[in-house]
Amino acid sequence: MTSTVESRSEPAGRGAPSGLVAAARAPGWVRHALLVAGLAVALWLPNGLYPAVAVDILCWALFAVAVDLLLGFTGLLSFGHAAFWGVSAYATGLVAIHLGLPLPAAVLAGALAAAVLAVPIGYLAVRRTGIYFAMVTLAFAQLVYYVANEWRSVTRGENGLQGVPRELFGLDLTDDYYFYYAILPIVLLGLAGAWRIVHSPFGRVLVGIRDNPARARALGYPVHRYKLTVFVLSGFVAGLGGGLFAVSHRFVSLEVLHWTTSGKAVIVVVLGGIGTLWGGVLGAGIVVRLEDWLSFSGFEAIGLVTGGIFVVVVLLFRRGIWGTASALARRWWGRRD
Amino acid sequence: MTAFLQSTFNGLVSGAFYALLALGLAVIFGMLRVVNFAHGAFYMLGAFGAYVLLAEAGVPFWVALMVVPLALALLGMALERAFVHRLTRLDPLYNFLLTFGLTLILQDLVKLRYGVQSSPYEMPAGLRGSVDLGLFDFPTYRVFILGFAVAVCVGVWWTLARTRVGMVVRAATERPELTRALGINVGRWITPVFGFGIALAGLAGVLAAPMRAVNPLMGADLIIVVFAVVVIGGLGSIFGSVAAGFGIGMVQAWAEAYLSAFPIVAQTIVFIVMAAVLLWRPAGLFGRAEAPA
């Protein structure tokens, strides 16, 4: 989406907006320094923020990266990713409550459930592209929402699923501070997995499909199958985030499946920068922190702020924070060479 | 048989709302290539407009039915000039995102002012009671809605098919460059067409006020169903969108009547039909296939 869009609005040959290209161009030491800095921030985070907020940021970072895998690197806007986030939240909660599995196993089970759900939804949705893909995924997510709402014996309807245990091999993780460090490895694994997908030959084909689907097909790539595969992988990553979210809140409500949750994930990605992968992590940090601050200060109309962010970013700031920063950095290096 | 006809009629009435909303979406999409996420929010504003006019100024239903869609058309045109217009040259997804942001803002503005409870709207005098339709009595207001919506749809069709304005809009929808080359100012029509689509959503909202709960979120879930309706009908086809609107209304009513043991089916049948259409005719029942991707 980004590249075709920007190339129409800007002179040809200038400013490749995708983070993929930016990462390939930035000198190695810059990328390593950024990685070390990112890890340092991740390790420090619960000391600088409320640990509960830091935990939410981790979960939403996974969610955003999952959405960006589709939007930024395959050119598919999924407006229904709450289905995978939410189904995994319920599945993780149910597994943890009824089977008593430890945290990583429960979250893995939830993410697998999300991936399984992504197969039929993705199979149908990849038959359309562009704006239709967004509408179709939104509609299927609403279907999942209605089913969860109706299937009270399992989901407990509007009361929600309560008492999800927070336990890891007998360790008590009720303190958010320790919980953060317990789930950080899972989150980093998920993020590394997403990075690996993007930088694999498979990921290169995805970008090729994004930029020129007809040519990718002419070269013999089964476009639908590639899209379906990344859709399922994305569902899995979103599911990891949703499962961790369920355990961290020890409670799952229908809100995890609502379309506003899907929309929030898209906001996070667009604000961070479409097609930048790490932009989504940054966007998650900003949006979660901002919403926490707003609800803490008693401001009720959060939609005014998130909606406003959306309008401003889409109108003036389409590269997002990460995309803008890397474009500036690129220009600076370009001048020095 | 009577029960079947009755549920069919009820389905046509709820289908009338889908059809009006889908028609507005299709008209806007045809001219601007924009899928307006805020359509549900404008439907809600239409209902709220009627409610506020009656409750705070005593303006009757019939006046609201004229004034509110006009006012919303102006608001829509202003938003088109201020925001949507700037993004129409880019990927349509950006305008989808923009109108999603506008939806959140509009909903929360109304919520801040009027809260989230539903407000009652009195049935207009003259449309209370029921009429005898031969086989069964039917609430007058529902008969009115159905007749009114069909008249609007036919009117829009006639305008598009038979008038010079309609010819220009159809030409600009199909081949914008060629239409410009023939010396027609296509840009001139974009803003009014957007406003017109918004007015249709507002009209549906005013019609819904006496029948459905007026609250800030009334358009939010509805718009997703309408998206499924236009995917089924094919957004590029105005006739398809309207036909799918009425059709889905009826299918839903039949599912409610005959599958009442499974309430979930009636709620989700539109999405199930959408899945079937995606399998069978991915471009929609009346849509043309996109370029292969």
Print the SS3 string covering B143-211: HHHHHHHHHHHHHHHHHHHHCHHHHHHHHHHHCHHHHHHCCCCCHHHHHHHHHHHHHHHHHHHHHHCCC
In a domain, B173, yes or no: yes
What is the 8-class DSSP label of residue A172? E
Over residues A37-66, the mean pLDDT reads 89
Using CB atoms within 10 Å of the CB of residue B34, give its burial: 0 to 12 exposed, 13 to 18 middle, 19+ buried. Answer: buried
* A83 neighbors A68 (Cβ within 8 angstroms): no
Grade residue B36 by pLDDT with cuts at 50, 70 and 90: very high
Residues of B in contact with A130 (CB under 8 A): 91-93, 290
Nearest to A2 by CA among A221, A270, A230, A191: A270
Over residues B239-254, the mean pLDDT reads 92
Based on C-alpha coordinates, what's the Rg of chain B?
Answer: 19
3-class DSSP assignment, residue A162:
strand
- B282/A contact by beta carbon, under 8 A: yes
Specify the pLDDT at position B289: 60
d(CA A42, CA A62): 13
Chain B CA closest to residue A149: B264
Cβ partners under 8 Å of residue A95, min gap 6: A101, A105, A106, A109, A110
Domain range for B22 is 8-116+135-217
Two structure tokens written together for A85: 């986030």
Judged by CB atoms closer than 8 Å, whether chains meet at B101 and A77 is answered as no
Over residues A48-71, the mean pLDDT reads 92
Residues of A in contact with B18 (CB under 8 A): none
State the total domains in chain A.
1
Q: Tell me the per-residue pLDDT of A107-150, one tens digit each, with 9 for 90 and over.
A: 999 999 999 999 999 999 998 888 889 888 998 999 999 888 88
Judged by CB atoms closer than 8 Å, whether chains meet at B104 and A136 is answered as no
* Distance of residue A284 Cα from the nearest chain B Cα, in angstroms: 17
Residue with structure tokens 């961070």?
A272
pTM, rounded to two decimals: 0.87
- What share of chain B has pLDDT > 70, as a percent? 98
Residues of B in contact with A125 (CB under 8 A): 278
d(CA B280, CA B293): 17
Domain range for A169 is 2-336
Judged by CB atoms closer than 8 Å, whether chains meet at A307 and B105 is answered as yes
- Strand ranges for chain A from DSSP E: 161-162, 167-168, 171-172, 251-252
> 3-state DSSP: chain A helix, strand, coil percent, rounded to 5?
80, 0, 20
* Distance of residue A273 Cα from the nearest chain B Cα, in angstroms: 13
Over residues B237-253, the mean pLDDT reads 91
State the total domains in chain B.
1
d(CA B51, CA B206): 8
Specify the pLDDT at position B57: 87
Specify the pLDDT at position B141: 87
Specify the pLDDT at position A68: 94
Look at residue A37 and tell me whether its pLDDT is greater than 50: yes
* Distance of residue B245 Cα from the nearest chain A Cα, in angstroms: 15
| A20 or A59, greater pLDDT | A59
| B38 or B236, greater pLDDT | B38
Name the residue facing A306 among B104, B264, B278 (closest C-beta).
B104
Nearest to B253 by CA among B18, B10, B20: B10
Cβ partners under 8 Å of residue A166, min gap 6: A103, A173, A174, A179, A247, A248, A250
Judged by CB atoms closer than 8 Å, whether chains meet at B100 and A310 is answered as yes
Predicted ipTM > 0.90: no
**CATH assignment at residue A247:** 1.10.3470
d(CA A285, CA A278): 11
- What share of chain A has pLDDT > 70, as a percent? 91
* Distance of residue A9 Cα from the nearest chain B Cα, in angstroms: 7
Specify the pLDDT at position A127: 85
Kindly report the CA angle at A125 between A124 and A128, in degrees rounded to 5? 110
In a domain, B266, yes or no: no
Residues of B in contact with A140 (CB under 8 A): 271, 275
Grade residue A16 by pLDDT with cuts at 50, 70 and 90: very low
| A245 or B91, greater pLDDT | A245
Name the residue facing B97 among A140, A147, A270 (closest C-beta).
A270
3-class DSSP assignment, residue A235:
helix
d(CA A67, CA A86): 14
Angle, helix B140-162 to helix B187-208, in steps of 10 degrees: 170
Q: What is the longest distance spanned by two Cα atoms in chain A?
A: 65
* Distance of residue B178 Cα from the nearest chain A Cα, in angstroms: 20
User: Which neighbouring-strand residues pair with A167?
Assistant: A172
In a domain, B259, yes or no: no
